[in-house]
Structure 1
Amino acid sequence: MTEQRKLLSTKEAAEYCGFKLSYFRKLMMRRAIPMYKPCGKLCFFKREDLDAFLTGVRISSQGEINEEADRYLAGRK
């Protein structure tokens, strides 16, 4: 059994996230995604960092918004 490598290359990271390579590179240039550059040229990525990036901004569903509004209005009475 081979141990899975912990760091991903740029291409592997883009595939892992489901992004086109060109869009992933744009995110890299904007420094939106955390990366590791041990030699100053090649970039590597941790799956945990990519997961955190992908789940970093959560949008509430309309049902959750309605429930929060109901709780707010109930508290004002």
Structure 2
Amino acid sequence: MESNLIIQKLTQLEKLIIGTNKQIFTVDDVVNYTGFSKSYVYKLVHKNILPYSKVNNRTLFFEKSEIDSFLLQNKSKSISQIEKEAITYINSKK
């Protein structure tokens, strides 16, 4: 039982390591890279939220850089970043 879990975790790590070196992802690569479920990836594609390319009207491909941009698009600023921006803004208005 425990050895099956170890093998499963090693397989996941192997897929993740191999996937991070690729620049073009398949749906399975996106699932492994992001941790999203396959159905959620298809939902994002269906709603044109996640950028993709479709080859021969069948196979979906994704650019790693676009996946990264998608994952980081709603970035929240830290308090120190907000304070620095406020100081810069105040100093520019003097």
Structure 2: distance between partners of 1:71 and 1:7: 40
Structure 2: distance between partners of 1:34 and 1:76: 40
Match for residue 68 of structure 1?
85
Secondary structure of the residue aligned to 1:34 is coil
Question: Following TM superposition, by how much is the alpha carbon of 1:5 offset from its aligned partner in structure 2, in angstroms?
Answer: 6.0
Residue-by-residue CA offset, 1:29-56 (whole Å, 9 max, x unaligned):
1111111111112212222221222233
Match for residue 35 of structure 1?
52
Secondary structure of the residue aligned to 2:56 is coil
Match for residue 44 of structure 1?
61
Match for residue 58 of structure 1?
75
Greater relative CO (CA pairs within 8 A, separation 6+): 1
TM-score calculated relative to the size of structure 1: 0.72
**Structure with greater strand percent:** 2
TM-score calculated relative to the size of structure 2: 0.62
Note if contact 2:24-2:61 (Cα within 8 Å) is conserved in structure 1. yes
Question: Following TM superposition, by how much is the alpha carbon of 1:7 offset from its aligned partner in structure 2, in angstroms?
Answer: 3.1
Q: Which runs of 5+ in 2 are unaligned?
A: 1-20
Q: For this pair of structures, how many residues does the alignment match? A: 74
**Structure with greater helix percent:** 2
Structure 1: distance between partners of 2:51 and 2:22: 18
Q: Which runs of 5+ in 1 are unaligned?
A: none
* RMSD (Å), alpha carbons: 2.2
Aligned-residue identity in percent: 27
Residue-by-residue CA offset, 1:7-47 (whole Å, 9 max, x unaligned):
32212212212212222121111111111111112212222
Structure 1: distance between partners of 2:91 and 2:54: 52
